[in-house]
Amino acid sequence: MKGKTAECVWKPIPQSKSSPCDRYKHACCICKGFVYLHGGRHTTNLSDFWRYSIESNEWEMLHGSGDGPEELEEHSMVAYQGMLCVFGGMLDSAFTQTKAPLWMYDIDSARWTECRHTEAETESTAPANRKGHSAVVYSSSMYVYGGYFDIKGISQEFWALSFDTGEWSCISALSYDTGPGPRHGHSAVVYSTGMYLFGGLMGLSEQKDLWKWDFTSRNWSSIRTSQGPPKVVGHSSVVFRDSMLIFGGGISSSRPQSSLWKYHFSSQTWSKLAHTAKVAESHSLACAEATHCNCTLPALHRFSTHVSMQDVQTLSMGHLNISYTNKECTFLNDELQPPTSLCKLCGLLRLPRPKQESSGKCTRGSWEPTGRDQALTELSFAEQLS
């Protein structure tokens, strides 16, 4: 079945108060109506901790008591019953080699707890520090797959952490023929009784394969489709209704992607939702009407993370945070352009267009920059074509 491109639109979400600096390789998740963000890289490694209120559209920097994580990158963060669980991402050093790469944050008490190794725990009974892995929650456990070690290379270990007991267990055999194999920079989501893993890097080779781990039968299966996203690393995935959305990523030999893809679980088919065209610096600017097809999608960086909440999806990617909802229906073309500025009065975006076309002016207001480095952007889309 040939995929179709559905209609969607991105729009900025203005921020009036302080917000996180632009970054990548950070961790992000959602809990109780807030988006939580930790660490990553800017010009150096970061250890700051933020939360964003979806309702009030405001960021707040959190400090928290207890032993919180230091500077981390390419780590993971998941939420479970009012607790945030941060795993991996430590910079390799003599100091971090003896530490357990696991922290818990109690949202109600605003307190961090560092989970320390017991005397009986070794690398065979608990996972070592790693980066670029995936982490998901199913039932009362966190499942961690893959990642890479700075010295040992890429991992194909599959671990489960029971939130009830606090104990780790290794749940898959270390064999190439039993699953996705060693990889990092992939994505994973949970839908029904399965964990779906896509893409990533195996050695020096980018992947575009899709795998399913069945929590009931405890088996891996490869899902083969006729088409879908290209090979990507460092992308983000999120579940929306009965589909998985995959955004961004890239390969080492080219620029990062800004494509948005949908995988429908029931029909096992892919469809492309949006694509960002490269914008030349010689382009001039024109005002786009709200109902016009030339709406916008922000240009994004390769590394991205995601969170989700019912019908609202918020993705924090590169130095942009993206919020995605289905409440509005504005129709677009396939090729979308990144926003550069915003009209103060009418709120419409002006878009790059070739110089030979009329640059146009907004007759209803004046322009002002949107501050893209730390901007929030929202994506709305019409009901999906299957």
The domain spans of the chain are 8-381
If you average pLDDT over residues 89-97, what whole number do you get?
78
Res. 72: pLDDT tops 50: yes
Say what the pLDDT of residue 5 is.
55
CATH node for 8-381: 2.120.10.80
Res. 276: pLDDT tops 80: no
pTM over 0.75, yes/no:
no
If you average pLDDT over residues 271-295, what whole number do you get?
38
Tell which wins on pLDDT, 232 or 257.
Answer: 232
The pair of structure tokens assigned to 172 is: 């898959």
What is the average pLDDT value for the chain, to the nearest integer?
74
Among 27-31, 47-51, 124-128, the minimum mean pLDDT is found in 124-128
Using alpha carbons only, what angle is made at residue 193 by residues 148 and 127, rounded to the nearest 5 degrees? 25
Residue carrying the six token digits 């928290």: 64
Amino acid, res. 163: F
Amino acid, res. 67: D
Strand order in the sheet with 367-369: 284-287, 349-353, 341-343, 367-369
Handedness of CA 28, 29, 32, 33 (dihedral sign): positive
43 contacts: CB under 8 Å, gap ≥ 6: none
Res. 216: pLDDT tops 50: yes
Say what the pLDDT of residue 177 is.
64
Say what the pLDDT of residue 377 is.
55
Tens digits of per-residue pLDDT, 241-262? 999 999 999 887 777 888 899 9
Q: What is the distance, to the nearest Å, from the Cα of residue 29 to the centroid of all Cα atoms in its chain?
A: 9
Report residue 190's pLDDT band, with 50, 70 and 90 as the boundaries. very high
If you average pLDDT over residues 345-356, what whole number do you get?
36
Burial class (CB in 10 A: 0-12, 13-18, 19+), 273: buried
Phi, then psi, of 98 in degrees rounded to 5: -95, 0
Residue carrying the six token digits 């080699």: 97
